[in-house]
Amino acid sequence: GGERMIALDGAARTAAEAAAALSCEVGAIVKSLVFADGEQAVMALVAGDRQCDVAMLGRALGLAAAPGRANADLVRRATGFAIGGVAPLGHAEPLPIAIDGSLARFPVLHAAAGHPHAVFPLSYEELLEWTGGIAAPDLARA
């Protein structure tokens, strides 16, 4: 609900910016990364201090090959959000989602709320439950 929304004074287009604004660890920021499996958008939810391993993302989601970068048009069409403010849920289309297991390190995570100036707090369990994503322990590397 809207009561969980946190408005930031400045834009939080990067995990580092969001962490600084919230005084939390960069790893507790959920990066919502969109990739392309052909015409299908797929999503990786990754800790702010990790990089997504696209080969592992492909494996986690059962894709034939590692997905590629999604362009801005695909991101907007599939999620309804623009790059920089993509939320992990509330997408225009149902998306296959893999979730970085390293996010479980933190009791409270923060994810983009669909706008570069807004985030919302949630737990790792809520992230799994609300997104319907697949937990992928090897999805990301430091």
**Domain limits for position 123:** 2-141
The tens digit of pLDDT for each residue in 83-127 reads 878 999 999 999 999 999 999 999 999 998 888 788 999 999 999
DSSP per-residue letters across 46-67: EETT-EE-HHHHHHHTT-SS--
pLDDT at residue 3 in the model: 66
CB neighbourhood size of 38 (10 A): 11
Tokens 């005084």, located at residue: 23
The predicted-structure confidence for 6-51, as pLDDT tens digits, reads as follows 888 877 778 898 899 899 999 999 999 999 999 999 999 999 999 9
Question: How many structural domains are present in the chain?
Answer: 1
pLDDT for the residue 25: 96
Q: What is the CATH number of the domain that holds 49?
A: 3.90.960.10
Can you tell me whether residue 4 is helix, strand or coil? helix
For residue 60, pLDDT over 70 is answered with yes
Instruction: Please check the confidence at residue 130 and state whether its pLDDT lies above 90.
Output: yes
DSSP state, residue 125: H
